[in-house]
Structure 1
C-alpha cells in the first residue's frame, strides 16, 4: 500500500512539471517568435514479481501472450520537453526594423550580457528590433532587441547603422543597406543568422532568448549544433513579425486532461490511505 502511494506521489510531481510547461506556453501565446514546448512522459523502473510456480500449470503457459507474474512500476517522469519549431503566423507591421524568419530552424544572434559583464551569444526568433544611439559614438546607432541586447552581425560584432538615416532596407539574406539624407547609400553589414541543428540543446534564458550549454562537456562541437546561414539561404522578411506558434486550443485541452490525471492520482492516494486505515483498524 505504501509503495502504491509513493509511486503515485512521484507521478503527481511530474504532472505538476507538465502543468508548468503548459502554463508557460499559454502565458507566451502573444510573444513574438515564441516556440511552444511539449513534455514527454516515460516510465520509471519496474520490478517483475513472479509469485506463481511456472511449472505448476502448463495450461496457463501454453497460449499466454503476456509474462506471468506482476510488473510493479515506480511511477513515471518527464523524459524530455521537445521544442516545436513550426513557424508561427507572420503578421505585417510595416516597421522597417521588424524582421521575421520564415525558416523554422533559423535564429537571429544576440550578444547576451552576463552578471559579470561578459557576453555570450544567444539566439532568438523575436525580430522586434529597434535602433539606439551608441553612447560611444553619437553618429552611429546600434541595432538592439526590445530587451536592450545588441543584435550581432555575420562577423559576430554588433550591428551599427549610421545615424540620421532616411531609409533602411534589409533583404531576405539579412544584408542591411542604409540610404542617407544626402542620397548616399551605405552597406551596414549583414545580420548574423544561424541554423540550429539540435534545438533540444537550447536553454531558455528569459526575454525570448536561448543559449547553448557547455558543448565541450557533452563532447559536441559547435558546428554540429549551430551553422551560419549562407546569404542565398536566408529567410528574412522585413516589416513583419512572427507570432507565437502556440496552439491555444491544444494547450487548453492538455490543461483539462492534466487536471483530470492529477485528480485521478490524488484520489488514488486518498483511497490508499483509507484502505490502510481499515487494515489498521482490523489489526487492533
Structure 2
C-alpha cells in the first residue's frame, strides 16, 4: 500500500508541472510572439519481482512482475514554429516571417547593457530629453540596430516603413533616415534562457556548458541581411494551439484524478488492515 501511495504521489507531483505549463500556454494564447511549451514524461525505474517457486514449463503466470515507481518530467520542449500573422495597419508593428529570427533589444543589467532577443514586434516611440525619439518595445527596452546601439531619430518623424531586409526608413519633413534593425538567428533556441514570456537571453555560463556564443546565434549583418523576412503593419500571433491545449488539459486532469484516487484507495486499505484485531 505504501508503494502504491508513493508511486501515485510521485506522478501527481510531476503532473502538476504539466498543468502549470498548459495554464501558462493558455494564458499567453493572445500574446504576440509567444512560443508554446510542451512537457515530455519518462517512466521511473522498475523493480523486477521474480517468482521462481513455480518454475514449470506449462505455467501460465509470468516468471516475474515489474513494479513501477511512477513517472517524471523528462524535459520541456518549446514549439518554435512561426505563428499566424495578424494585420494591424499600425506603422510601428513589424512581424518576422522567418523562423528562429529575433529582434535585438537592449536590456540594462548589473554588469552593463546586454542584448536580448524577442519576436514581439509592436514597437513605440519614446521621447528623449534632447529632442530626439528612441524606438522601444512595450516594456520600454530600446530596440537595437545591427551594431547593438539604440535606434534614435528626430522627434519630427511623420512616417515609418521597414523593408524586407530589415531596413527601417523614418520619414521626416526634411528628408528621411534609415536604420538597420538588429536581427539575430537563434541557431540553438532550446539552449537559450527564457527571461519572460517572449524574451530570451544568453546562458550565464557558456564555458561551463562547453559552447560558444557563435554556436547559439548568428547576427544577420552585411550580405546575411538578405535572409531577413519582415512584414509591415503586422504582428506574429502566438503559436499556441488552443484545441490541443484543452485536450492536454483534460488528459492531465484525468491522470491526476486517477492517481489521487489511488492514494485514497491505498489509504482505505491501510485503514482496513489496521482495523483487523
- Structure 1 pair 207–151 and aligned structure 2 pair: CA distance change class (3 A): farther
Find the counterpart in structure 2 of residue 216 from structure 1. Answer: 207
Find the counterpart in structure 2 of residue 249 from structure 1. Answer: 243
Find the counterpart in structure 2 of residue 169 from structure 1. Answer: 161
Question: Per-residue CA shift, 1:115-159, capped at 9, x if unaligned?
Answer: x37333211111000111234x32x21110101111111111122
- TM-score of the aligned structures, taking structure 2 as reference length: 0.92
Distance 2:274 2:38 in 1: 43
Shift of 1:14: 0.8
Distance 2:111 2:169 in 1: 31
1:125 aligned to which of 108, 119, 124: 119
Find the counterpart in structure 2 of residue 94 from structure 1. Answer: 89
Indicate conservation of the 8 Å contact 2:35/2:198, yes or no.
Answer: no
Find the counterpart in structure 2 of residue 106 from structure 1. Answer: 101
Query: 5+ unaligned residues in a row in structure 2: which ranges?
Result: none
Find the counterpart in structure 2 of residue 228 from structure 1. Answer: 219
Question: Per-residue CA shift, 1:61-116, capped at 9, x if unaligned?
Answer: 9xx9xx842222221111111111111111111211101011121111111223x3
Indicate conservation of the 8 Å contact 1:147/1:207, yes or no.
Answer: no
Distance 1:211 1:145 in 2: 16
Distance 2:96 2:195 in 1: 20
- TM-score of the aligned structures, taking structure 1 as reference length: 0.90
Indicate conservation of the 8 Å contact 1:123/1:211, yes or no.
Answer: yes
Find the counterpart in structure 2 of residue 82 from structure 1. Answer: 77
Shift of 1:60: 5.1
Shift of 1:16: 0.7
Find the counterpart in structure 2 of residue 57 from structure 1. Answer: 56
Find the counterpart in structure 2 of residue 186 from structure 1. Answer: 177
Alignment of 1:142-161 (within 5 A): 142-161=134-153
Shift of 1:255: 1.1
Find out whether 1:34 has 2:37 as its counterpart. Answer: no
> Partner of 2:140: helix, strand, or coil?
coil
Distance 2:10 2:186 in 1: 34
> Partner of 2:91: helix, strand, or coil?
coil
Count of matched residue positions in the alignment of Structure 1 and Structure 2: 273
Indicate conservation of the 8 Å contact 2:34/2:197, yes or no.
Answer: no
Distance 2:65 2:201 in 1: 45
RMSD: 2.0
- Structure 1 pair 4–176 and aligned structure 2 pair: CA distance change class (3 A): same
Query: 5+ unaligned residues in a row in structure 1: which ranges?
Result: none
Distance 1:45 1:162 in 2: 64
Of 264-273 and 217-226, deviating more is 217-226
- Structure 1 pair 143–117 and aligned structure 2 pair: CA distance change class (3 A): farther
> Partner of 2:255: helix, strand, or coil?
helix
Distance 2:69 2:112 in 1: 44
> Partner of 1:151: helix, strand, or coil?
coil
Question: Per-residue CA shift, 1:209-265, capped at 9, x if unaligned?
Answer: 122322222111111111123211001111111111111111111111111111101
